[in-house]
Amino acid sequence: MAASRLVGAYPVIGIRPTIDGRRGALDVRGSLEEQTMNMAKAAAKLFEENLRYSNGEPVKVVIADTTIGRVGETAACAEKFRREGVDITVTVTPCWCYGSETMDMDPHTIKAVWGFNGTERPGAVYLASVLATHAQKGLPAFGIYGHDVCGADDTDIPADVREKLLRFGRAAVATASMRGKSYLQIGSICMGIGGSIIDSDFIESYLGMRVESVDEVEIIRRMTEGVYDQAEYEKALAWTKEYCKEGFDTNPEHLQKSREQKDSDWEFVVKMMVIIKDLMNGNKNLPEEFSEEAIGHNALAAGFQGQRQWTDFYPNCDYPEALLNTSFDWNGAREPYILATENDVLNGLGMMFMKLLTGKAQIFADVRTYWSPEAVKKATGFELTGLAKESDGFIHLINSGAACLDGSGAAKDENGNGVIKQWWEVTEEDQKAIMDATTWHYANNGYFRGGGYSSRFETKAEMPVTMIRLNLVKGLGPVLQIAEGWTVNLPEEVSDALWKRTDYTWPCTWFAPRITGKGAFRSAYDVMNNWGANHGAISHGHIGADVITMASMLRIPVCMHNVPEEEIFRPAAWNAFGEDKEGQDYRACATYGPLYK
């Protein structure tokens, strides 16, 4: 697997097999040692086989050297976990244990407890007891209790327990992966977009990340002084000439650039991409004299200002944004970068959350236009059917640049369905199909006087997707919105007619949110009308429940979602804040506050 591009270890999961410490004639502990350690081994195997870091490597899991019956063993386990870089702990037990003596009291770990539902020994009673103690001590933990009683010798993990362990694991690894990494801002506030007004305190205290900032002149300096890997640049340019097919130029004839100027723009934007890569993650292949630049900014995500000043003068950043967000480039499949356009740091963070949860490339889009069935009929004569009809219309998602090319849905699963794959599953065939589904159009001179090339594709597959938005509200703090739904594959003539009414040379996705009939999900119109900003981050898959679990770990309340209530999994202490799932979330997040305050 690819090595990490970033400095800073990936989070390790520590399993804590916890046990009743009583010996004596009946040796309670002795009778439970094997079952307890087997639970730990089963949980470790589940994580190792199903969880991966964003770089594609299996998640590292360690188990305490012994079962944990008394506080001395608790301390020994904590010491081992400290040495191993454990950020996440899962305590497992089939029996009664002594909660405050055996619980994980490290204030910085993300915690879960699995109490085996077997009636021979009171594992569930310990679970309830230690979760109460976690709540009393302000160390909220996730509680996992299987629905059905299992036999004491059952070593299989029940399906509902498996689902919760994996949801917890994905969200905890995503949350802890951010610790110590950077968000790189290239340029500054973009066209007055609030999301591009970076809030370092939020990024530091909620995400545990650092903000790095670079003026865009650095890109020009590096181009001018040759601070880039010449061989890499030439390889990238050759690949680009072969696979990035130019499409129609919609600019008026008198504004269209010459072939020489267009070729010069290709060279410029390819150079921009290799330089932005280096800015984000460094590059040991840079010429010796550039040892400082070789270090990079250790950025897990970044944003580029683009509009306006840069794009009024230089070729735009659409090519670097599109390809860096994609699952591959001239070097083949590789971990997608997160590069937000318009320097919308809040949307970039949303993309980052979901890439860390899924290992998939992400789409950045304007939440541009709600199309009602009536408006579509009036504009095209077409009667909506299927998902678009069920959602009472659909939303046009379109923004130049930072939509991953995977968003066309040109990669196919084993059944021939269009998907966005985990990047390590993307084949050469997928890469070719995705590039064939994309054309590159000279930049709209109205918005991008400096030129450049915009990627263009239409999401032609009907795919499950999740759109989220991270918003900052003064006096409240961060909130998250989540809309699960599907991409809609409209008949070509219908899509064309609607697309032509706006930016016809940009990536285009038609989105039908799942409608619940309630609140902001009464119709697709209500989703748009309640959306908190101009942009959304879109991931393949219905991952809203994972986002909700991750948000609770980050202490970010969810203000809007259409995830079925039974899928909501948050720390057990949330139940103490009331029965209504939304209100308890707000109250709990306000009480616990940011992880790194």
Sites of contact with ligand CVU (CB under 6 A):
307, 342, 366, 399, 447, 534
- Residue 430 in the binding site for Mn ion (CB under 5 A): no
Which of 89/444 has CB closer to Mn ion? 444
**Contacts (CB under 5 A) with Mn ion, residues 279-318:** none
Query: Is 27 tagged catalytic?
Result: no
Instruction: Judge whether 553 and 171 are in contact, CB under 8 Å.
Output: yes
Q: Which of 342, 392, 406, 458 is catalytic?
A: 342
Query: In the complex, what is the shortest distance from the CB of residue 398 to Mn ion, in angstroms, rounded to a whole number?
Result: 9
SS3 518: coil
- Residue 366 in the binding site for Mn ion (CB under 5 A): yes
Give how many residues touch Mn ion by CB under 5 A: 2
Instruction: Judge whether 36 and 90 are in contact, CB under 8 Å.
Output: no
> DSSP string spanning 3-25?
PPSSSSPPPEEEEEEB-----TT
Kindly report the CA angle at 445 between 441 and 451, in degrees rounded to 5? 65
134 is in an annotated binding site: no
Which of 333/472 has CB closer to Mn ion? 472
342 is in an annotated binding site: yes
How far, in Å, CA of 99 to CA of 114, rounded?
A: 13
Query: In the complex, what is the shortest distance from the CB of residue 388 to ligand CVU, in angstroms, rounded to a whole number?
Result: 23
- Residue 503 in the binding site for Mn ion (CB under 5 A): no
Beta strands in 126-214 (DSSP E): 142-144, 182-186, 210-214
Tokens representing residue 355 in the block: 């890439």
- Residue 321 in the binding site for Mn ion (CB under 5 A): no
Tokens representing residue 199 in the block: 């809030």
> Rounded to the nearest 10 degrees, how much is the dihedral formed by the CA atoms of 118, 12, 347, 139?
60
Which of 342/526 has CB closer to ligand CVU? 342
Query: In the complex, what is the shortest distance from the CB of residue 497 to ligand CVU, in angstroms, rounded to a whole number?
Result: 19
Tokens representing residue 162 in the block: 């498996």
Q: Which does 307 bind (CB under 5 to 8 A by kind): Mn ion, ligand CVU, none?
A: ligand CVU
Query: In the complex, what is the shortest distance from the CB of residue 13 to Mn ion, in angstroms, rounded to a whole number?
Result: 37
How far, in Å, CA of 558 to CA of 153, rounded?
A: 40
Query: Is 374 tagged catalytic?
Result: no
Q: Which of 20, 87, 265, 366 is catalytic?
A: 366
**Contacts (CB under 5 A) with Mn ion, residues 384-423:** 399
Query: In the complex, what is the shortest distance from the CB of residue 450 to ligand CVU, in angstroms, rounded to a whole number?
Result: 13
Which of 99/532 has CB closer to Mn ion? 532
- Residue 18 in the binding site for Mn ion (CB under 5 A): no
Which of 76/189 has CB closer to ligand CVU? 189
- Residue 454 in the binding site for Mn ion (CB under 5 A): no
DSSP-assigned letter for residue 59: P
SS3 579: coil
Write the CB contacts of 455 (distance below 8 Å, at least 6 apart in sequence): 318, 319, 322, 323, 400, 401, 403, 405, 438, 439, 440, 506, 507
Helix axes 217-225, 259-281, angle to 10 degrees: 110
| Binding site listing for Mn(2+) | 342, 366, 535
User: Which residues contact Mn ion (rule: CB under 5 A)?
Assistant: 366, 399
Which residues belong to the active site?
342, 366
